[in-house]
C-alpha cells in the first residue's frame, strides 16, 4: 500500500491539473468567441450608421445622429434598461429629422456603449452626455427628449446647466417628489453572477446571433433589419457594472435631483401616458399631488395628457412627435 500511495497522489494531481487546463482553455475559447462575435456586431451596426463611439474619459459612449444640422439639436435620453433607443425611438423621431438633428447617446453599459466601473451618479451621467456632445463637436443649446428615468437626468441637466438647454420634452418620465424615494437602494434582483456570465462571454453561448445577411443598401425601414439590430443591441448589454450601479443609485439620484431642482423659464412639456386617465380618481389625484408639484418646481412645464402605455413613443409615435413639434415652435 505504501508503494502505491505516491502513484495515487500523482494521478490525482495530474487529473486536477488536466481539469484546470481544460477549464482555462474552455474559458479562453468562450471569451475569444465572445470578442469575435462583438466585433462582428459592431461592424454590422456600423454598416447602417448605428455605431459611432465617442471617448468620454476612460470609456466610450455610442453616439448616433441623423437629420438636418440646420435645425434644433434634439438629444434623446433613454429610460432605464432601454438599450435600443436609436431603433425604437425612430417611429417618433423620423418625422422630426427633416428639420432637426436627432442625437442618440447610450449611457455607459447600454447598447453598444462601453461598460464602466464608475458609480453612475446623476452628475456623472450628465457630465458624460455633455462630454460626448462636446467631443463630437455638437454644440448646444439642445432640446432634451427624455423617457422614464431619463427624465431625472434631463431635470438634473437643465437645473445645473440651463445654458445648455433650450427645451425639454418628458416622455412619461419618472415622477419625483420629496417623499417618493427612501434612503438607500432599491431591491436589486440582479446578481454579480449575471455580470460574470456576461463578462466571461458565457451568456452569449445561449443567445442566437443577429443575422448579418443584409446588403449595405438595406434600410432601417426594413422591419426585419430593425428587429435584428434591436435584438443585437439588447443582447450586447445584458447586465453589467454600469447598469447595476445605475439601478442601485436610483433612489439617491432621484432624491438629489429633486433637492437640486432650480426653477427656470426653459420651455418644457411633460407627456403623461400612464397617469393620463380622466376617470380613474387615483390617477387624477396622482397628477394633482405628485406630478404637478414636480412640474411647478421646474417651472414653465406644460402637462400634456396622452393616455397609453409607458413606452408611449412606440404606441403613439405620431402624437408624441406632434407635441414635440409644438414645443419646438415656441423656441
Mean pLDDT of 210-219: 84
User: Which pLDDT belongs to residue 187?
Assistant: 74
Report the largest interatomic distance among the alpha carbons of the chain, rounded to a whole angstrom: 93
Q: Is residue 40 part of a domain?
A: no
Q: Which three cell numbers stand for residue 329?
A: 415652435
pLDDT digits (tens, 9 = 90+) for 241-253: 999 999 999 999 9
User: Which pLDDT belongs to residue 1?
Assistant: 46
Q: Is residue 28 part of a domain?
A: no
Q: Is residue 264 part of a domain?
A: yes
pLDDT digits (tens, 9 = 90+) for 147-174: 999 999 999 999 999 999 999 999 999 9
Number of independent structural domains in the chain = 1
Q: Tell me which of 125-129, 208-212, 264-268, 318-322 is least confident.
A: 208-212
User: Which pLDDT belongs to residue 3?
Assistant: 53
pLDDT digits (tens, 9 = 90+) for 5-41: 568 888 888 888 888 888 888 888 989 988 998 999 9
- Cα separation, 288 vs 303, in Å, equals 11
Q: Is residue 260 part of a domain?
A: yes
What are the contacts of 134-141 at 24+ separation with CB within 8 A?
135/54, 135/55, 135/56, 136/54, 136/63, 138/65, 138/73, 138/101, 138/103, 139/73, 140/73, 140/164, 140/165, 140/166, 141/73, 141/165, 141/166
Residue 156: which CATH number?
Answer: 3.40.50.1820
DSSP letters, 62-88, are EEEEEE-TTS-EEEEE--TT-TTHHHH
pLDDT digits (tens, 9 = 90+) for 77-123: 999 999 999 999 999 999 999 999 999 999 999 999 999 999 999 99
Comparing CA positions, the residue from 198, 211, 210, 207 lying closest to residue 238 is 198
CB 142 within 8 A of CB 133: yes
Burial class (CB in 10 A: 0-12, 13-18, 19+), 105: buried
Q: Is residue 16 part of a domain?
A: no
Q: Is residue 230 part of a domain?
A: no
Q: Is residue 312 part of a domain?
A: yes
The pLDDT of residue 2 is above 60: no
Supply the range of the domain harboring residue 179: 48-190+239-330
User: Which pLDDT belongs to residue 315?
Assistant: 98
Amino acid at each position: 500500500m505504501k508503494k502505491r500511495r505516491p502513484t495515487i497522489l500523482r494521478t490525482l494531481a495530474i487529473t486536477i491539473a488536466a481539469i484546470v487546463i481544460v477549464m482555462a482553455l474552455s474559458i479562453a475559447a468562450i471569451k475569444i468567441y465572445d470578442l469575435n462575435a462583438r466585433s462582428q456586431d459592431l461592424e454590422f451596426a456600423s454598416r447602417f450608421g448605428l455605431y459611432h463611439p465617442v471617448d468620454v474619459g476612460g470609456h466610450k459612449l455610442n453616439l448616433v445622429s441623423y437629420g438636418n444640422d440646420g435645425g434644433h439639436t434634439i438629444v434623446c435620453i433613454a429610460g432605464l434598461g432601454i438599450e435600443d433607443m436609436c431603433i425604437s425611438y425612430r417611429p417618433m423621431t423620423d418625422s422630426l429629422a427633416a428639420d432637426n438633428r436627432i442625437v442618440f447617446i447610450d449611457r455607459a453599459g447600454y447598447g453598444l456603449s462601453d461598460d464602466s466601473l464608475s458609480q453612475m451618479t446623476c452628475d456623472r451621467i450628465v457630465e458624460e452626455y455633455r462630454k460626448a456632445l462636446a467631443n463630437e463637436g455638437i454644440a448646444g443649446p439642445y432640446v432634451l427628449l427624455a423617457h422614464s428615468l431619463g427624465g431625472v437626468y434631463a431635470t438634473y441637466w437643465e437645473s445645473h446647466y440651463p445654458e445648455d438647454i433650450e427645451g425639454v420634452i418628458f416622455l412619461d418620465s419618472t415622477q419625483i417628489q420629496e417623499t417618493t424615494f427612501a434612503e438607500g437602494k432599491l431591491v436589486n434582483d440582479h446578481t454579480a453572477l449575471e455580470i460574470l456570465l456576461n463578462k466571461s462571454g458565457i451568456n452569449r453561448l445561449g443567445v442566437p446571433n443577429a443575422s448579418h445577411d443584409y446588403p449595405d443598401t438595406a434600410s432601417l425601414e426594413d422591419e426585419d433589419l430593425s428587429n435584428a439590430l434591436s435584438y443585437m443591441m439588447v443582447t450586447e448589454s445584458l447586465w453589467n457594472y454600469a447598469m447595476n450601479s445605475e439601478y442601485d443609485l436610483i433612489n439617491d439620484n432621484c432624491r438629489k435631483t429633486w433637492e437640486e431642482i432650480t426653477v427656470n423659464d426653459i420651455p418644457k412639456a411633460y407627456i403623461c401616458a400612464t397617469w393620463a386617465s380622466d376617470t380613474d380618481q387615483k390617477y387624477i389625484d396622482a397628477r394633482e399631488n405628485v406630478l404637478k408639484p414636480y412640474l411647478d418646481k421646474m417651472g414653465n412645464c406644460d402637462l400634456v395628457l396622452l393616455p397609453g402605455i409607458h413606452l408611449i413613443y412606440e404606441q403613439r409615435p405620431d402624437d408624441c412627435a406632434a407635441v414635440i413639434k409644438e414645443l419646438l415652435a415656441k423656441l
